[in-house]
Amino acid sequence: MKLTKYRANPIFVPEKNNPWEAMCVLNPAVVYVEEKKEFVMLYRAAGFDNAHRIVLGLATSKDGIHFTRCFKEPVYDLHTDEPDGGSIEDPRLIQMGNAYYLVYAARPWFCGRYWLPPEERWEGGTRYKDPQEDAPLYLRKNYSVSYLAYSEDLIHWKRLGRLSDPRFDDRDNVIFPEKIKGKYWKLSRPYRPDTPQGYDHPGIWIASGDDMIVYEEPKLLYPSGLNDWQDNRVGVGCPPMKTKDGWLILFHGVSQKDSLYRIGFMLLDLEDPTKILSISKEAVMEPDQEFEKSPFYPGCVFPTGWVNRDGLLYIYYGCGDQYISLATVKLDDVLNALKQE
Protein backbone atom coordinates (compact mmCIF):
# COMPACT_ATOMS: atom_id res chain seq x y z
CA MET A 1 0.00 0.00 0.00
CA LYS A 2 1.37 3.40 -1.05
CA LEU A 3 0.19 6.96 -0.65
CA THR A 4 -0.91 8.79 -3.79
CA LYS A 5 0.94 12.04 -4.35
CA TYR A 6 -1.09 14.87 -5.84
CA ARG A 7 -0.30 15.20 -9.55
CA ALA A 8 0.38 18.97 -9.35
CA ASN A 9 2.67 18.97 -6.31
CA PRO A 10 3.99 21.04 -4.71
CA ILE A 11 0.73 22.74 -3.69
CA PHE A 12 2.34 25.60 -1.71
CA VAL A 13 5.59 27.40 -2.52
CA PRO A 14 7.61 30.36 -1.18
CA GLU A 15 6.27 33.86 -1.73
CA LYS A 16 9.03 36.05 -3.15
CA ASN A 17 7.17 39.25 -2.26
CA ASN A 18 7.20 38.43 1.46
CA PRO A 19 10.83 38.44 2.68
CA TRP A 20 10.05 36.28 5.74
CA GLU A 21 8.83 33.40 3.51
CA ALA A 22 10.76 34.02 0.31
CA MET A 23 13.11 31.03 0.60
CA CYS A 24 11.08 28.13 1.98
CA VAL A 25 7.68 26.99 3.25
CA LEU A 26 7.39 23.53 4.75
CA ASN A 27 6.14 21.14 7.44
CA PRO A 28 2.57 22.42 7.90
CA ALA A 29 -0.08 21.77 10.52
CA VAL A 30 -3.56 21.46 9.02
CA VAL A 31 -7.05 21.21 10.53
CA TYR A 32 -10.54 21.33 9.03
CA VAL A 33 -12.82 23.97 10.56
CA GLU A 34 -16.35 22.62 10.19
CA GLU A 35 -18.08 25.93 10.89
CA LYS A 36 -16.29 27.63 7.99
CA LYS A 37 -16.08 24.55 5.77
CA GLU A 38 -12.39 25.19 5.17
CA PHE A 39 -8.93 23.74 5.69
CA VAL A 40 -6.63 25.92 7.80
CA MET A 41 -2.87 25.57 7.50
CA LEU A 42 -0.13 26.85 9.80
CA TYR A 43 3.14 26.53 7.94
CA ARG A 44 6.83 26.94 8.75
CA ALA A 45 8.56 29.63 6.70
CA ALA A 46 11.89 31.42 6.34
CA GLY A 47 13.55 33.99 4.10
CA PHE A 48 17.06 34.48 2.77
CA ASP A 49 18.53 36.17 5.87
CA ASN A 50 21.76 34.69 7.21
CA ALA A 51 20.26 34.03 10.65
CA HIS A 52 17.53 31.92 9.01
CA ARG A 53 14.64 33.27 11.10
CA ILE A 54 11.91 30.61 11.15
CA VAL A 55 8.29 31.67 11.79
CA LEU A 56 4.75 30.47 11.05
CA GLY A 57 2.35 31.70 8.38
CA LEU A 58 -1.39 31.08 7.95
CA ALA A 59 -3.32 29.97 4.86
CA THR A 60 -6.80 28.59 4.12
CA SER A 61 -8.43 26.44 1.44
CA LYS A 62 -11.92 25.29 0.52
CA ASP A 63 -10.79 22.14 -1.30
CA GLY A 64 -7.68 21.16 0.67
CA ILE A 65 -5.48 21.69 -2.38
CA HIS A 66 -5.44 25.36 -3.33
CA PHE A 67 -4.40 27.47 -0.34
CA THR A 68 -4.56 31.25 -0.04
CA ARG A 69 -2.35 33.21 2.34
CA CYS A 70 -4.26 35.11 5.02
CA PHE A 71 -1.72 37.79 5.94
CA LYS A 72 1.41 39.46 4.61
CA GLU A 73 3.09 38.97 7.99
CA PRO A 74 3.67 35.85 10.11
CA VAL A 75 0.74 34.77 12.26
CA TYR A 76 3.18 33.38 14.86
CA ASP A 77 6.36 35.42 15.01
CA LEU A 78 9.61 35.33 16.94
CA HIS A 79 10.02 37.12 20.26
CA THR A 80 13.80 37.03 20.44
CA ASP A 81 13.95 37.73 24.18
CA GLU A 82 11.82 34.67 24.95
CA PRO A 83 13.04 31.04 25.39
CA ASP A 84 11.57 30.13 21.97
CA GLY A 85 13.05 33.22 20.35
CA GLY A 86 15.46 31.55 17.93
CA SER A 87 13.02 29.63 15.72
CA ILE A 88 9.41 28.43 15.51
CA GLU A 89 9.47 25.09 13.71
CA ASP A 90 7.34 22.13 12.59
CA PRO A 91 3.86 22.95 13.98
CA ARG A 92 1.29 20.30 14.90
CA LEU A 93 -2.35 21.15 15.64
CA ILE A 94 -5.16 19.46 17.53
CA GLN A 95 -8.64 20.62 18.47
CA MET A 96 -10.20 19.85 21.84
CA GLY A 97 -13.62 21.36 22.43
CA ASN A 98 -13.71 24.84 20.94
CA ALA A 99 -9.98 25.43 21.37
CA TYR A 100 -6.93 24.67 19.26
CA TYR A 101 -3.58 23.59 20.69
CA LEU A 102 -0.37 24.18 18.81
CA VAL A 103 2.76 22.16 19.51
CA TYR A 104 5.99 23.36 17.92
CA ALA A 105 9.74 22.95 18.23
CA ALA A 106 11.84 26.01 19.02
CA ARG A 107 15.41 26.98 19.72
CA PRO A 108 16.68 29.73 22.03
CA TRP A 109 19.06 31.06 19.35
CA PHE A 110 18.84 31.39 15.56
CA CYS A 111 19.86 28.16 13.85
CA GLY A 112 21.69 29.79 10.94
CA ARG A 113 21.80 28.30 7.44
CA TYR A 114 21.98 24.71 8.65
CA TRP A 115 22.33 23.18 5.16
CA LEU A 116 25.70 24.87 4.56
CA PRO A 117 29.16 23.81 5.77
CA PRO A 118 29.99 25.11 9.28
CA GLU A 119 32.34 27.79 8.00
CA GLU A 120 29.55 29.29 5.88
CA ARG A 121 26.58 28.73 8.18
CA TRP A 122 27.05 31.90 10.22
CA GLU A 123 28.27 34.40 7.64
CA GLY A 124 27.32 37.97 8.44
CA GLY A 125 27.94 37.77 12.18
CA THR A 126 24.67 36.01 12.98
CA ARG A 127 26.03 33.26 15.24
CA TYR A 128 25.00 33.55 18.86
CA LYS A 129 27.60 34.23 21.53
CA ASP A 130 28.37 31.09 23.54
CA PRO A 131 26.73 31.32 27.00
CA GLN A 132 28.70 30.81 30.20
CA GLU A 133 29.37 27.20 31.20
CA ASP A 134 26.84 27.36 34.06
CA ALA A 135 23.99 28.32 31.73
CA PRO A 136 21.23 25.74 31.12
CA LEU A 137 22.23 22.97 28.76
CA TYR A 138 19.66 23.78 26.08
CA LEU A 139 20.93 27.37 25.95
CA ARG A 140 24.53 26.23 25.54
CA LYS A 141 23.70 23.56 22.97
CA ASN A 142 20.88 25.47 21.20
CA TYR A 143 18.69 22.41 21.62
CA SER A 144 15.24 22.16 20.09
CA VAL A 145 12.62 22.18 22.85
CA SER A 146 8.89 21.67 22.26
CA TYR A 147 6.34 24.30 23.32
CA LEU A 148 2.57 24.60 23.59
CA ALA A 149 0.23 27.44 22.56
CA TYR A 150 -3.56 28.02 22.76
CA SER A 151 -6.06 29.70 20.43
CA GLU A 152 -9.78 29.81 19.78
CA ASP A 153 -9.53 31.23 16.26
CA LEU A 154 -6.16 29.98 14.90
CA ILE A 155 -5.03 33.61 14.56
CA HIS A 156 -4.50 34.95 18.09
CA TRP A 157 -2.23 32.72 20.15
CA LYS A 158 -1.34 32.51 23.81
CA ARG A 159 2.10 31.03 24.43
CA LEU A 160 1.80 28.52 27.26
CA GLY A 161 5.44 27.55 27.68
CA ARG A 162 7.62 24.51 27.55
CA LEU A 163 6.13 21.08 26.80
CA SER A 164 9.32 18.97 26.78
CA ASP A 165 12.30 18.47 29.08
CA PRO A 166 14.96 21.05 28.08
CA ARG A 167 17.77 18.66 29.03
CA PHE A 168 17.02 16.86 25.75
CA ASP A 169 16.79 17.90 22.13
CA ASP A 170 13.12 16.96 21.84
CA ARG A 171 11.28 17.57 18.59
CA ASP A 172 8.32 15.74 17.03
CA ASN A 173 6.06 16.14 20.07
CA VAL A 174 2.38 15.44 19.41
CA ILE A 175 -0.56 15.39 21.82
CA PHE A 176 -3.46 12.96 21.52
CA PRO A 177 -6.66 14.91 20.70
CA GLU A 178 -8.62 13.49 23.64
CA LYS A 179 -8.01 12.03 27.08
CA ILE A 180 -7.57 8.28 27.44
CA LYS A 181 -8.76 6.88 30.76
CA GLY A 182 -8.66 10.34 32.30
CA LYS A 183 -5.09 11.11 31.19
CA TYR A 184 -3.52 13.32 28.56
CA TRP A 185 -1.00 11.53 26.35
CA LYS A 186 1.81 12.67 24.12
CA LEU A 187 4.45 11.16 21.84
CA SER A 188 7.93 12.63 21.60
CA ARG A 189 11.49 12.13 20.38
CA PRO A 190 13.94 12.99 23.19
CA TYR A 191 17.55 12.89 22.06
CA ARG A 192 20.84 13.36 23.86
CA PRO A 193 23.66 11.03 22.86
CA ASP A 194 25.44 11.17 26.24
CA THR A 195 22.53 9.56 28.15
CA PRO A 196 20.81 6.15 27.99
CA GLN A 197 17.50 7.90 27.26
CA GLY A 198 18.87 9.73 24.27
CA TYR A 199 20.45 6.90 22.28
CA ASP A 200 22.53 7.62 19.20
CA HIS A 201 19.47 6.95 17.02
CA PRO A 202 16.33 8.62 18.43
CA GLY A 203 13.07 6.69 18.78
CA ILE A 204 9.44 7.42 19.63
CA TRP A 205 8.58 7.80 23.31
CA ILE A 206 5.20 8.00 25.08
CA ALA A 207 4.07 9.67 28.31
CA SER A 208 0.85 10.48 30.14
CA GLY A 209 -0.11 13.28 32.50
CA ASP A 210 -2.91 14.85 34.51
CA ASP A 211 -2.33 18.20 32.80
CA MET A 212 -1.84 18.82 29.09
CA ILE A 213 1.50 20.53 29.62
CA VAL A 214 2.99 18.32 32.39
CA TYR A 215 3.81 14.65 31.81
CA GLU A 216 5.36 11.78 33.67
CA GLU A 217 8.69 10.25 32.69
CA PRO A 218 8.39 9.01 29.09
CA LYS A 219 8.78 5.37 28.12
CA LEU A 220 10.19 4.03 24.88
CA LEU A 221 7.36 3.08 22.52
CA TYR A 222 9.21 2.35 19.29
CA PRO A 223 12.99 2.39 18.71
CA SER A 224 14.71 3.07 15.44
CA GLY A 225 16.51 0.29 13.60
CA LEU A 226 13.73 -2.28 13.21
CA ASN A 227 13.79 -1.85 9.41
CA ASP A 228 16.60 -0.57 7.21
CA TRP A 229 14.58 2.42 5.96
CA GLN A 230 14.33 3.71 9.54
CA ASP A 231 17.55 2.51 11.16
CA ASN A 232 19.01 5.98 11.83
CA ARG A 233 16.07 7.61 13.61
CA VAL A 234 12.28 7.71 13.75
CA GLY A 235 9.81 10.37 14.83
CA VAL A 236 6.08 11.04 14.80
CA GLY A 237 4.70 13.08 11.92
CA CYS A 238 1.04 14.05 12.39
CA PRO A 239 -1.02 14.12 15.59
CA PRO A 240 -2.67 10.77 16.41
CA MET A 241 -5.96 10.09 14.62
CA LYS A 242 -8.69 8.05 16.30
CA THR A 243 -10.13 5.25 14.15
CA LYS A 244 -12.40 2.27 14.79
CA ASP A 245 -9.36 -0.01 14.94
CA GLY A 246 -7.04 2.09 17.08
CA TRP A 247 -5.01 5.29 17.20
CA LEU A 248 -3.47 5.79 13.77
CA ILE A 249 0.06 7.23 13.77
CA LEU A 250 2.00 8.48 10.77
CA PHE A 251 5.74 8.47 11.40
CA HIS A 252 8.94 9.17 9.52
CA GLY A 253 12.08 7.11 9.41
CA VAL A 254 15.58 7.98 8.23
CA SER A 255 17.96 5.43 6.75
CA GLN A 256 21.65 5.26 7.65
CA LYS A 257 22.42 4.07 4.14
CA ASP A 258 21.09 7.03 2.14
CA SER A 259 19.83 9.55 4.80
CA LEU A 260 16.43 9.73 3.07
CA TYR A 261 13.22 10.40 4.98
CA ARG A 262 10.48 7.82 4.38
CA ILE A 263 7.01 7.38 5.85
CA GLY A 264 5.14 4.56 7.60
CA PHE A 265 1.97 3.91 9.63
CA MET A 266 1.52 2.58 13.15
CA LEU A 267 -1.64 1.56 15.01
CA LEU A 268 -1.92 1.88 18.79
CA ASP A 269 -4.53 0.40 21.13
CA LEU A 270 -7.48 2.75 21.76
CA GLU A 271 -7.53 2.15 25.52
CA ASP A 272 -3.79 1.65 26.06
CA PRO A 273 -1.67 3.64 23.59
CA THR A 274 1.52 2.08 24.96
CA LYS A 275 0.55 -1.06 22.98
CA ILE A 276 1.48 -1.20 19.30
CA LEU A 277 -1.08 -3.27 17.39
CA SER A 278 0.49 -3.06 13.94
CA ILE A 279 3.18 -1.20 12.05
CA SER A 280 4.30 -0.74 8.43
CA LYS A 281 7.22 -2.97 7.55
CA GLU A 282 7.77 -1.14 4.27
CA ALA A 283 7.67 2.60 3.66
CA VAL A 284 4.40 3.92 2.23
CA MET A 285 6.01 7.04 0.76
CA GLU A 286 9.54 8.18 -0.07
CA PRO A 287 11.18 11.11 -1.87
CA ASP A 288 11.14 10.34 -5.59
CA GLN A 289 10.42 13.75 -7.14
CA GLU A 290 12.99 16.40 -7.99
CA PHE A 291 11.31 19.04 -5.81
CA GLU A 292 11.65 16.63 -2.85
CA LYS A 293 15.42 16.72 -3.27
CA SER A 294 16.20 20.42 -2.82
CA PRO A 295 19.68 21.59 -1.73
CA PHE A 296 18.38 22.38 1.76
CA TYR A 297 17.66 18.71 2.49
CA PRO A 298 18.03 16.46 -0.54
CA GLY A 299 15.58 13.62 -0.03
CA CYS A 300 13.00 14.55 2.60
CA VAL A 301 9.25 13.95 2.85
CA PHE A 302 8.08 15.14 6.26
CA PRO A 303 4.33 14.99 7.07
CA THR A 304 3.08 17.10 9.96
CA GLY A 305 -0.62 17.61 9.22
CA TRP A 306 -3.55 15.49 8.05
CA VAL A 307 -7.31 15.71 7.71
CA ASN A 308 -9.91 12.95 7.31
CA ARG A 309 -12.67 14.04 4.92
CA ASP A 310 -15.32 11.39 4.31
CA GLY A 311 -12.83 8.55 4.68
CA LEU A 312 -10.11 10.10 2.52
CA LEU A 313 -6.91 11.18 4.30
CA TYR A 314 -5.35 14.43 3.09
CA ILE A 315 -1.71 14.23 4.20
CA TYR A 316 0.38 17.40 4.04
CA TYR A 317 4.14 17.16 4.03
CA GLY A 318 7.21 19.30 3.69
CA CYS A 319 9.51 18.25 0.88
CA GLY A 320 13.19 18.98 0.61
CA ASP A 321 12.81 21.63 3.37
CA GLN A 322 11.51 24.02 0.72
CA TYR A 323 7.92 23.26 -0.38
CA ILE A 324 4.61 21.81 0.82
CA SER A 325 2.96 18.90 -0.97
CA LEU A 326 -0.12 16.72 -0.62
CA ALA A 327 -0.67 12.96 -0.63
CA THR A 328 -3.93 11.07 -0.20
CA VAL A 329 -5.07 7.59 0.76
CA LYS A 330 -8.35 5.99 1.84
CA LEU A 331 -8.48 5.39 5.58
CA ASP A 332 -9.96 1.92 5.08
CA ASP A 333 -7.07 0.99 2.80
CA VAL A 334 -4.60 1.96 5.52
CA LEU A 335 -6.42 0.01 8.21
CA ASN A 336 -6.80 -3.05 5.98
CA ALA A 337 -3.11 -2.95 5.07
CA LEU A 338 -2.13 -2.75 8.74
CA LYS A 339 -4.22 -5.84 9.47
CA GLN A 340 -2.01 -7.72 7.01
CA GLU A 341 1.28 -6.69 8.68
Question: For residue range 132-148, what is the model confidence (pLDDT) as tens digits?
Answer: 999 999 999 999 999 99
Give the confidence band of 264 by pLDDT, cuts at 50, 70, 90.
Answer: very high
Q: How far is CA 37 from CA 60, 93, 94, 119, in A?
A: 10, 17, 17, 49
Residue 131 confidence (pLDDT) above 80: yes
40-43-49 Cα angle (round to 5): 150
Sheet containing 68-69: order of strands? 24-33, 38-46, 54-61, 68-69
pLDDT of residue 196: 67
pLDDT of residue 300: 95
pLDDT of residue 127: 84
CA 45 remoteness from chain centre: 13
Helix or strand holding residue 338 (H, E): helix 331-340
What's the mean pLDDT in 253-281? 96
Of 38-47, 119-128, 189-198, which one has max mean pLDDT?
A: 38-47
What's the mean pLDDT in 262-271? 98
What's the mean pLDDT in 52-77? 98
Question: Does residue 113 contact residue 120 with C-beta atoms inside 8 Å?
Answer: yes
pLDDT of residue 201: 75
pLDDT of residue 40: 98
pLDDT of residue 199: 62
pLDDT of residue 149: 98
What's the mean pLDDT in 292-309? 93
Residue 198 confidence (pLDDT) above 60: no
Give the confidence band of 200 by pLDDT, cuts at 50, 70, 90.
Answer: low
What's the mean pLDDT in 316-338? 97
What's the mean pLDDT in 234-241? 97
Residue 46 confidence (pLDDT) above 90: yes
- Model pLDDT for residues 173-192, shown as the tens digit of each residue: 999 999 999 999 999 999 98
Residue 253 confidence (pLDDT) above 60: yes
- Model pLDDT for residues 73-122, shown as the tens digit of each residue: 999 999 999 999 999 999 999 999 999 999 999 999 999 999 998 888 88
What's the mean pLDDT in 260-267? 97
Q: What is the number of domains present in the chain? A: 1
Sheet containing 219-222: order of strands? 169-175, 184-191, 204-209, 219-222
The percentage of residues in the chain with a pLDDT greater than 90, rounded to a whole number, is: 89
Please give the residue that has the higher pLDDT: either 227 or 337.
337
What's the mean pLDDT in 274-286? 97
> Could you tell me which residues come within 8 angstroms of residue 134 by beta carbon, excluding any fewer than 6 positions away?
none
What's the mean pLDDT in 15-26? 98
pLDDT of residue 332: 98
What's the mean pLDDT in 272-293? 96
Q: What is the CATH number of the domain that holds 50?
A: 2.115.10.20
Residue 124 confidence (pLDDT) above 80: no
What's the mean pLDDT in 41-58? 97
Closest residue by Cα to residue 52 from 128, 110, 104, 105: 110
Q: Domain residues for 220?
A: 4-340
Helix or strand holding residue 339 (H, E): helix 331-340
Cis peptide before 10 (omega within 30 of 0): yes
Bridge partner residues of 189 (DSSP):
171
